[in-house]
């Protein structure tokens, strides 16, 4: 009898161990996040050009560094809307979002204008707007609630990125910007546009073309993404 109980106990323990291992595996899978990075411009679209800085080159470099840095975390699957210097239409970028269905989207740009004194970084999130079409129709209201949930998530992501970049560019944040964007409009995922600095400002340009600064920016953005997902759980 004692031997039977012992065998039964061992068998039960094995089953519990397998069940816990399965749950741990599912948990690990659930904690893996797909991030889509959009390096602005490319190919014939150079974007901002100032001295030796071309926006399309810098955004591509940063996107590749972000993907490389994210691999160290082991919890990110980072995809790019373009991985080489080629012209990529807005339709292609939006198609990549629809096909991949990422947990979030980050579009990287370089700023210009506002005179040569303008400096610092900005983070944009989709402009809030009334999305209900159809009066009090239940389906329209539910759709509006879903959309606004993702807009709120975008704001939280923007705040986390702002905090991360502050470590690289102290007191140079120009605040969060609520503005429409052709790429972000209508998306049902957290999405932001990051203007990493001003190519038209000598000091910004010097920093942005520095390899060490680019690596530091990539690390800060990956860490910001990680913290955002941890808080969102």
> Is 194 exposed, middle or buried, given 0-12, 13-18 or 19+ CB atoms closer than 10 A?
buried
User: Each residue's pLDDT tens digit in the chain (233 positions)?
Assistant: 555 555 555 545 554 554 454 444 444 445 789 999 999 999 999 999 998 899 999 999 999 999 999 999 878 899 999 999 999 999 999 999 999 999 999 999 999 987 778 999 999 998 755 444 444 454 544 455 556 778 889 999 999 999 999 999 999 999 898 888 899 988 889 999 999 999 999 999 999 999 999 999 999 999 999 999 988 76
Ordered DSSP codes for 195-220: EEEETTSHHHHHHHT-HHHHHHHHHH
What's the angle, vertex CA 113, arms to CA 107 and CA 118, rounded to 5?
Answer: 95
Q: List pLDDT tens digits, range 50-86.
A: 988 999 999 999 999 999 999 998 788 999 999 999 9
Residue in the block written with tokens 């816990």: 20
Q: DSSP class of residue 162?
A: H
H or E segment and range at residue 40: none
d(CA 161, CA 227): 9
Q: Model pTM greater than 0.85?
A: no
State both tokens at 83.
């991985």
Both structure tokens of 112: 């210009």
Q: Please give the CATH superfamily to which domain 33-232 belongs.
A: Zn-dependent exopeptidases (3.40.630.40)
Distance from CA of residue 60 to its chain's centroid?
Answer: 15
For the chain, the straight-line distance linking the first and the last C-alpha, in angstroms and rounded, comes to 48
Contacts of 175 (CB under 8 A, 6+ apart): 122, 162
119 Rama class: left (phi>0) / alpha (psi -120 to 50) / beta: beta
């Amino acid at each position: 009898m004692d031997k039977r109980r012992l065998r039964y106990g061992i068998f039960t323990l094995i089953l519990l161990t397998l069940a816990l291992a399965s749950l741990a595996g599912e948990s690990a899978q659930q904690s893996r996040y797909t991030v889509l990075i959009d390096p602005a411009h490319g190919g014939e679209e150079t974007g901002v050009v100032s001295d030796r800085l071309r926006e399309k080159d810098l955004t591509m470099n940063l996107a590749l560094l972000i993907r490389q840095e994210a691999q160290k975390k082991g919890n990110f699957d980072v995809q790019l809307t373009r991985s080489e210097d080629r012209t990529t239409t807005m339709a292609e970028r939006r198609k990549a979002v629809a096909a991949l269905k990422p947990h979030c989207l980050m579009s990287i740009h370089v700023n210009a204008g506002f005179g040569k004194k303008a400096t610092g970084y900005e983070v944009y999130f989709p402009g809030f707007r009334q999305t209900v079409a159809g009066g009090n129709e239940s389906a329209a209201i539910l759709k509006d609630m879903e959309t606004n949930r993702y807009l709120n998530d975008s704001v939280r992501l923007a705040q986390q990125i702002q905090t991360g970049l502050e470590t690289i560019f102290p007191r140079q944040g120009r605040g969060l910007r609520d503005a429409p964007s052709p790429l972000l409009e209508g998306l049902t995922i957290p999405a932001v546009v990051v203007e990493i600095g001003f190519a038209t400002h000598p000091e910004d340009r010097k920093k942005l073309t520095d390899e060490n600064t680019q690596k530091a920016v990539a690390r800060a953005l990956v860490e910001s993404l990680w913290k955002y997902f941890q808080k969102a759980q």
